[in-house]
Amino acid sequence: MNIILLASAIFLGLLAGLIIANFTKEEISANRRYFILTKYLLLLVLSLTVIYFYKDHKFWYIYFLLGIIIGYFLRILFLYLGIILGSTINLDNNKLLIVSSIIFLFGLIYSCNYVGKSKRFLIILIIINYLLLLISTITTTYIYSIQLILIVSGALLGNIIYSSFKIDSKAFR
């Protein structure tokens, strides 16, 4: 039951971001480049935080590099966030609090890009994340959970690397 409440609080960051964005449309369009930079900065902070938590794990760098390669080619961002959150639930409450706070802030920033667009996409993302969260908490054990978290944090960094080549140059003028 606590897992479902935590997932609700975290992924409602998407909904809260949409509500805030609907009231501040002019500010968001004027500061679009800062939202893009903040989005990638939060992903980088999440990835580096996970590395810091599990840097004592044997062969952590191999899993992380594998994740970078996977993330470069498979850009399914919310899949990675759901897996990180679901795997962190099995490990430690302090780590869970930090990771879930970063994902909540990312949801606030991410949903600002969808002002005036179809909200169905974000609703589908929320439903998929609930399913991924439940699946990952049921199927992962302690040892595999750490390896999975390291691979997925590398995939987030691979996502950032790929997206840095695809950023619209008009947003930074």
Reported pTM: 0.78
Q: Is residue 166 part of a domain?
A: yes
pLDDT at 1 over 50: no
> What average pLDDT does the structure give for the chain?
76
The number of folded domains in the chain is: 1
Q: What single-letter DSSP state applies at residue 117? A: S
In a domain, 111, yes or no: yes
- Domain limits for position 58: 2-20+30-172
Residue 25 maps to a domain: no
CA distance to 10, 20, 67, 122, per residue, from 16 (Å): 10, 6, 30, 12
Give the pLDDT confidence of 155-170 residue by residue, as tens digits.
Answer: 888 888 887 766 554 4
Is residue 128 a part of any domain in this protein?
yes
Tell whether 72 is covered by a domain: yes
